Amino acid sequence: MPDRLTVLLVEDNPGDARLVRALLDPSIQVVHETRLAAACHAVCTRAVDAVLLDLSLPDAEGETTVTSMLEAAPGLPVIVLTGRCDEALELAAVRAGAQDYLVKDGLDEDLLRRTLQHAVERARLLRELDELRRQQVRSKDELLAHVSHELRTPLNAAYQLVTIVADGIGGPVTGEQSEYLGRALRNVGQVRVMIDDLLEATRMEVANLRIECRTTALDALLRAAVTGREAAAADVRLELRCSALPSVWADPQRVEQVVGNLIDNALRYTPRGGVVSVQAACADAEFVQVSVDDTGPGVPPDQRTRVFERFAQVDDGSGPSRRGLGLGLYICHELVTRQGGRIWVESAPGAGSRFAFTLPREESHERRPDDSAR
């Protein structure tokens, strides 16, 4: 506890304020405000260790007084000091974040001293705990970044060497050998996707994922995503259908990531001879909708929300035997949501799935900030 506490007393009744001052230890420095607005200003501009807060002020009433106070100074210990002995209000105040609830009648020096001391101490412990938690998150992120880098290096060497053989640099390759090498490369690719997804999901958790939205032309981006996967879709018809599209307000790299992930998924679940179709069109005046349809086994109704959760695995008994980490759609969900859109799946069992998402149109993004400025 600091040598000399500074307490902000928020009390509009002069008599009550005098009473509290008289009960407070003389070593405590008291800052006195009579309105909530002035009190909120005070905690932002000067160092205060705790707040003694009346709940009926000229500009605030009830437990929302606590909420506003804590919004102005998150983590600051707030002790309610009121004339009303009201159990429901007491509970509401504590739920709003108050450390304690003191009734002015029957208040004495000792109770006030102890309550203040404990509240300040608890707040200090909470701050320490919070800092510790932040450190842990940081070191977890660093560890994952390090591990992913270390895993990618040997994987990359293996990939390079296999492609050298597959491209015939070490001598002619028979058709049979070429198939074996192709399978090896597909597996290397799968491990790479898992490493990337694991790292990406960690970034989502610690909220240091970078999304930089700008005016983005969707058609070129979709075409590139489809063209880049034509080789992988040898046994499936992969088609793109989009009319002239307005630009969207999004991070092109992140949109590519989402579309790529949805197409890869669709290709994985679509049997030989099936169709994967990518479509885009205006959903309404504010959003463009992109959807990826497949002719795979479909997603059972009870799993349609769950597929977007972390580590979700769809189990319908007919998908590929190896399903990966179950992070791809979770990442898509986070990326789309954080760009202001939404993502969902429509499906009829046995008749394929449609994974669709929306992104805000550029004009609707431009309109909003203008409106708020006026």
Partner 1 sequence: MSDGRTILLVEDDEDTRFALRVRLTASGYVTREATDVDSALAAVGRERPDLILLDLGLPGGGGLAVLERLGGAPDVVPIPVIVLSARPAATARAAALAAGAAAFIEKLVDNRDLLTAIAGLLEPGRPQA
Neighbour count for residue 108 (Cβ, 10 Å): 9
Q: How far is the CB of 204 from partner 1 (least distance, A)?
A: 12
Q: What residues contact 236, with CB distance under 8 A and at least 6 apart?
A: 267, 270, 272, 273, 274, 275, 276
What's the number of CA atoms in the CB half-sphere (13 Å) around residue 78? Answer: 31
250 binds partner 1 (CB under 8 A): no
1 binds partner 1 (CB under 8 A): no
Q: How far is the CB of 157 from partner 1 (least distance, A)?
A: 4
Q: 247: closest CA among 99, 360, 326?
A: 360
Q: Among 9, 17, 69, 199, which residue interacts with partner 1 (rule: CB under 8 A)?
A: 199
How would you classify the pairing of strands 275-282 and 78-82? unpaired
Q: What is the crossing angle of helices 109-166 and 175-205, to 10°?
A: 170
Only segment of 69-77, 100-108, 147-155, 324-332 that touches partner 1 (CB under 8 A): 147-155
The alpha carbon of 77 is separated from its chain's Cα centroid by a whole number of angstroms, namely 28
Q: What is the crossing angle of helices 64-72 and 36-45, to 10°?
A: 20
Q: How far is the CB of 199 from partner 1 (least distance, A)?
A: 6
Q: How far is the CB of 28 from partner 1 (least distance, A)?
A: 49
Rank residues 198 and 275 by Cβ distance to partner 1 and give the closer one.
Answer: 198
Structure tokens at 374: 């006026």
Q: Among 135, 136, 139, 160, which residue interacts with partner 1 (rule: CB under 8 A)?
A: 160
Only segment of 40-48, 142-150, 299-307, 344-352 that touches partner 1 (CB under 8 A): 142-150
Q: How far is the CB of 164 from partner 1 (least distance, A)?
A: 5
Rank residues 33 and 264 by Cβ distance to partner 1 and give the closer one.
Answer: 264
Q: Among 91, 111, 132, 145, which residue interacts with partner 1 (rule: CB under 8 A)?
A: 145
Structure tokens at 104: 């002015």
Q: How far is the CB of 158 from partner 1 (least distance, A)?
A: 8
CA diameter of the chain: 98
Q: How many residues bind partner 1 (CB under 8 A)?
A: 24
**289 contacts 358 by C-beta, under 8 angstroms:** yes
Q: How far is the CB of 165 from partner 1 (least distance, A)?
A: 10
217 binds partner 1 (CB under 8 A): no
192 binds partner 1 (CB under 8 A): yes
214 binds partner 1 (CB under 8 A): no
356 binds partner 1 (CB under 8 A): no
Q: Can you tell me the distance from the alpha carbon of 49 to that of 76, in angstroms, rounded to the nearest whole number? A: 7
Only segment of 44-52, 88-96, 163-171, 298-306 that touches partner 1 (CB under 8 A): 163-171
161 binds partner 1 (CB under 8 A): yes
Give strand pairing partners of 343: 357
Q: Can you tell me the distance from the alpha carbon of 143 to that of 81, in angstroms, rounded to the nearest whole number? A: 47
Q: Among 117, 163, 289, 364, which residue interacts with partner 1 (rule: CB under 8 A)?
A: 163
281 binds partner 1 (CB under 8 A): no
Rank residues 31 and 188 by Cβ distance to partner 1 and give the closer one.
Answer: 188
- Helix segments in 271-318, DSSP class H: none
167 binds partner 1 (CB under 8 A): yes
Q: How far is the CB of 267 from partner 1 (least distance, A)?
A: 17
Rank residues 73 and 165 by Cβ distance to partner 1 and give the closer one.
Answer: 165
Rank residues 41 and 138 by Cβ distance to partner 1 and give the closer one.
Answer: 138
CA distances from 133 to 136, 141, 257, 281, 305 (A): 5, 12, 30, 44, 30
Rank residues 229 and 354 by Cβ distance to partner 1 and give the closer one.
Answer: 229
Q: Among 15, 47, 210, 320, which residue interacts with partner 1 (rule: CB under 8 A)?
A: 210
Give strand pairing partners of 288: 282, 359
337: helix, coil or strand?
helix
- Helix segments in 167-206, DSSP class H: 175-205
Give strand pairing partners of 80: 53, 101
The alpha carbon of 106 is separated from its chain's Cα centroid by a whole number of angstroms, namely 47
Q: 72: closest CA among 53, 90, 95, 45?
A: 45
Q: What is the contact surface with partner 1 in residues (CB under 8 A)?
A: 145, 148-149, 152-157, 159-161, 163-164, 167, 169, 188-189, 192, 196, 199-200, 210, 253
